[in-house]
Chains A and B, each alone.
Chain A
Amino acid sequence: MDYNSLFRPSTMAVIGVSTSQGSHPANVIYNKNHLRYPVKVFPVNPKGGTLSREVLYKSVEDIPEPVDLAVIAVRSRFVPEVMEQCIRKGVKGAVVISGGFAEVGNQDIQDRMVELSRQANFPFIGPNCLGIFSPHAVDTFFLPGERIIHPKKGNVGFISQSGGVLIDQMVKFAGQGIGISSAVSIGNKAMVREADLLQWFANDPQTAVIAFYIEGFEQGEGRTFVQLVEQCNKPVIVLKAGKSEQGVSAVSSHTASLAGDYRVFSEVMAQHCVAEALNEYELTSFAEALSCYPEGSKGNVGIVSLSGGHGAVSADACAQHGLSLPSPSPETVEAIKTRLGEQVRDIVSLNNPIDLTGSVTDRDLVTTARHLSRDDGIDCILMLLLPYSPGVSADIGAKLARVYQDEGKPMIAYVPNEDKYAIIIEGFELNNIPVASSVEGAVMMAKALKRCTP
């Protein structure tokens, strides 16, 4: 189904704004979109009149223009009627942020909404959700703009069953400089569900990576999901909640006891090349790495460090995450060695991890990265960049990024995430090289790239 009108509307109605309570969720949504987004917003309340000097429409049907998206924030028992008005008006879809449906036992109201929307081919997100955030387009989160940290616009699509996880993950994405195409919380997912959104994001030209927070699938829905992943040429990341196994009550067979819900989920995802993030750190690292390198790699990592200790720590982490560290070819070692500056040539270690020592200069780092990039046995380079050494300049990020642009071999950098080193970090990130704020994070990014393609 086409959700363009939901994710990038030109016009929207906010139904259920309060005339007396400025902090009402609907008013928050109305205000932020009215003041800060390039979408024309119409407030709706049966009382009519005005809201902050703007016309307050009594019904969505009174709005004199076509409406792409309706945000519905009225009490649950009124939602089906409002939905019927939207359908009559020809609204293209809705986000229902109201609660009070299946989650509190009002399954009948929710079923009525699904019935209406299916008959009319009228998609709706929710109910009981935060809805949609598309940078520079629309924001249906009922949280005041000044309280949220907004990630920049980018190419990661994020779908979360939980609004809380979504909003918190936005903070983490923003902190790591990860940009999103659109993010959506689906709440009770009464009509639009994970598999529907997988299809939409798979076809969305602004999205290169699709990430999910999933609590569980309905009967057979997991099978549909992985079959769609097989037809999708973008990397898919999943963070699953509810990993602990409930004991199978009456254990009838070894197989039933061994194949618990989470084990099946995890192994079937891997079978279909979905990158399963084990926690929020992996989700963040995977999203950043795959947004730069959606094509993936085989997991043969070459590490360049300025310290033996960082090399050893990263090598341990690679082993733990199933990544291999092949030795560079003799030709690569020779090519690097002959070009290194005299101050380091005799004290470096050119095995993998490569230790260029604290006496290194920008030129040595660039040379090493360039020739390691040309080694066919290495398909991803980790640059553990300790910016404390006097020979390393503030331009090193941009210089190393150029090596990637020239050679085309995926590069991942570790730079301590401090304001002082921001120019180095930006030098990488503005040139599409992912930067981790820990060694472990850099290794997780390399792990994300080791992916099969369906």
Chain B
Amino acid sequence: MNEILNNIPDQGWEILEQSRSRGWVLEPMAKSFMEMTGLDIPKFYLGSSSSRAGEFLKQCKSGVVAKCVSSQILHKTEYGAVRVGIHNQDQLKEAFRHFKLLPGFEEVLVEEMLSGVELLVGAKIDYQFGPVIVMGIGGTGVEVYKDTTIRMAPLKPGDVLSMVNSLIGKDIISGHRGQQGVDMDVLTRVLVQFSHTVMEMEDRIESIDLNPVICTPDRCVVADARIILASEE
């Protein structure tokens, strides 16, 4: 009934396959997966060399964010595994020093800092309805504000408009008090595309968090991604 697009390339399926034993996909790979399926991700450096990261910092005018990559840390904020607003080499070196002490440290992901409207875009495989898409006001307070809305996938462009309109924070998305809002065409394309990707991976996943997706007036960028794989029974 619903046309399944072949959104996911072979390398994407490989990422899911490689993550099976862990049960979830590490952030750099999850983002790489999202990029392969047509979504925008930030410019980044991935590695453990703070001097190479320093070179990357010089290219980023508005600073960087550094995140610890660890297969033992699913929720980074709770471990202090994220440092935002890094503007100089000292701050960066300090972040590296701290991360290397965290459990399961593997690498550091350093990304350009973006500012804009922070959204949550998520997916869940619902028992009764199959793949559903969640969208709402994102960031670390997402479960505090619970300003989210749900639709069954795949989404039609009209669904995206109705999702935005059903949020309490819809004015944040359309732009208020002189703040620039979100480009609805870009947001629509991102959500529709994501919903088709989710349809394709229904059997493989339990849920996905893209939180935040940072929307500037012309881009929607997946700033963090978490893919929880379906448990194997």
Using a CB–CB cutoff of 8 Å, the interface residues on chain A facing chain B are 216-223, 226-227, 252-259, 261, 263-265, 267-268, 271-272
Contact = CB atoms under 8 A, between A and B. Distances in A.
14 contacts: A220-B130, A221-B128, A222-B129, A252-B206, A253-B124, A254-B122, A254-B143, A255-B124, A255-B207, A258-B146, A259-B134, A264-B128, A264-B150, A271-B151
A249 B132 CA distance: 20
A220 B128 contact: yes
B101 interface: no
A253 B226 contact: yes
A255 B129 contact: no
Interface residues of B, number: 32
The listed residue with most A CB atoms (<10 A of its CB), out of B128, B149, B162, B207, is B128
B209 A253 contact: yes
Interface in B127-146: 127-130, 132, 134, 136, 142-143, 146
A221 B122 CA distance: 22
Contacts of B122: 253-255, 258-259
Instruction: Identify whether the interface residues of A are mostly helix, strand, loop, or mixed.
Output: helix
A259 B124 contact: yes
Nearest to A226: B152
A451 B16 CA distance: 41
A219 B143 CA distance: 27
A257 to B, nearest CB: 6
Interface in B141-192: 142-143, 146, 148-152, 159, 162
B41 interface: no
B228 interface: yes
A256 B152 contact: no
B226 A261 contact: no
B130 A267 contact: no
A268 B152 contact: yes
A227 B1 contact: yes
Contact of A252 (B24, B123, B129): B24
A254 B139 CA distance: 10
B208 interface: yes
Contact of A261 (B128, B146, B207): B128
B129 A264 contact: yes
B74 interface: yes
B211 interface: yes
The listed residue with most A CB atoms (<10 A of its CB), out of B123, B132, B162, is B132
A254 B150 contact: no
Interface in B1-37: 1, 24
Contact of A258 (B1, B127, B129, B142): B142
The listed residue with most A CB atoms (<10 A of its CB), out of B130, B151, B152, is B152
A194 to B, nearest CB: 11
A257 B146 CA distance: 10
A189 to B, nearest CB: 14
Instruction: Identify whether the interface residues of B are mostly helix, strand, loop, or mixed.
Output: strand
A218 B128 CA distance: 6
A272 B228 CA distance: 28
Contacts of A259: 122, 124, 126, 132, 134, 148, 150, 207
Given A255-B134, A258-B122, 4 more contacts: A253-B122, A253-B207, A256-B228, A267-B150
Given A259-B134, A263-B150, A254 B124 contact: no
A253 B211 CA distance: 10
B120 A267 contact: no
A217 B127 CA distance: 9
The listed residue with most A CB atoms (<10 A of its CB), out of B24, B126, B134, is B126
A222 B134 CA distance: 17
A254 B142 contact: yes
B3 to A, nearest CB: 14
A166 to B, nearest CB: 22
A257 B206 contact: no
B101 to A, nearest CB: 25
Contacts of B24: 252
Nearest to B129: A222
A396 B56 CA distance: 80
B163 to A, nearest CB: 9
A85 B82 CA distance: 70
Contacts of A220: 128-130
A2 B24 CA distance: 47
Nearest to A219: B127
A255 B143 contact: no
Contact of B128 (A217, A256, A257): A217
Nearest to A230: B1
Nearest to B211: A254
B123 A255 contact: yes
Given A223-B129, A271-B159, A258 B148 contact: yes
Contacts of B149: 267
The listed residue with most A CB atoms (<10 A of its CB), out of B129, B143, B146, B228, is B129
B157 to A, nearest CB: 13
A268 B150 contact: yes
A219 B128 contact: yes
Contacts of B74: 252
Nearest to A251: B143
Given A254-B143, A271-B159, A223 B128 contact: yes
A272 B129 CA distance: 12
Interface string B207-230: 111010000000000000010100
Nearest to B128: A222
